[in-house]
Chain A
Amino acid sequence: DTGVSQDPRHKITKRGQNVTFRCDPISEHNRLYWYRQTLGQGPEFLTYFQNEAQLEKSRLLSDRFSAERPKGSFSTLEIQRTEQGDSAMYLCASSLQGQGASGYTFGSGTRLTVV
């Protein structure tokens, strides 16, 4: 297993367009997390899945954002009607239930630029 994989690595989009990112977690990990990291700041929690169930969502996850993990494996994060303020690195992490936060493995992220 090569770790947490995110695709694409970079995305440039025009304001108002929709974008979708994909995260493939470590295969045996049943928990999956999305974080957002703006320039010069630490990552901020967006949402978390256990298997296919989305169990927690941050207030940062506005109604333009939607995340899915349909079969409990890979996950997608969609941003509708992108705004310049959405420009950030979107990080995915996965872990095994029971390891908690100590078992986090982060991917390399998708860098979104909204122009």
Chain B
Amino acid sequence: GENVEQHPSTLSVQEGDSAVIKCTYSDSASNYFPWYKQELGKGPQLIIDIRSNVGEKKDQRIAVTLNKTAKHFSLHITETQPEDSAVYFCAASITSRQLTFGSGTQLTVLP
């Protein structure tokens, strides 16, 4: 089955700086790659996603890039703010029904 690895496990940045989180996946059949933000005591919330026919997608301060050949994808957050502090998860999907998640990155934005 699919395996998703995520790095780093923790990341601290100064407010205003950029943050980058990277994931690799194992199954070349995966075609959907979402990123979730999880705040304490809450379920994961979708923040951006990308499909395998697209190389890059941007939404305001958040962008995701996908390299299908290398089987890796990355989340980029620019101009970080304290409210960006949370756990971020990448995921990959082969079918439309199951997501395989990475192990998460605890992002801390220091004021």
Contact = CB atoms under 8 A, between A and B. Distances in A.
B91 interface: yes
B43 A100 contact: no
B101 A56 contact: no
Interface string A15-32: 000000000000000010
Interface in A3-50: 4, 31, 33, 40-45, 48
Contacts of B43: 4, 91, 93, 106-109
Contacts of A107: 43
B97 A106 contact: no
B101 A101 contact: no
Q: Is the interface of A mostly helix, strand, loop or mixed?
A: mixed
Interface centre among B4, B46, B93, B98 (most CB of A within 10 A): B98
B18 to A, nearest CB: 23
Contact of A41 (B36, B98, B99, B104): B104
Given A40-B104, A42-B102, A109-B43, A100 B34 contact: no
Given A106-B43, A107-B43, A45 B96 contact: no
Interface of A: 4, 31, 33, 40-45, 48, 55-56, 91, 93, 100-102, 104, 106-109
23 contacts: A4-B43, A41-B101, A42-B4, A42-B6, A42-B101, A43-B44, A43-B89, A56-B97, A56-B98, A100-B32, A100-B93, A100-B97, A101-B32, A101-B34, A101-B93, A102-B34, A102-B46, A102-B49, A106-B36, A106-B44, A108-B42, A108-B43, A109-B43
Across the A-B interface, the 6 shortest Cβ-Cβ residue pairs: A42-B101, A100-B96, A106-B43, A101-B93, A45-B98, A42-B89
Interface of B: 4, 6, 32, 34, 36, 41-46, 49, 89, 91, 93, 96-104
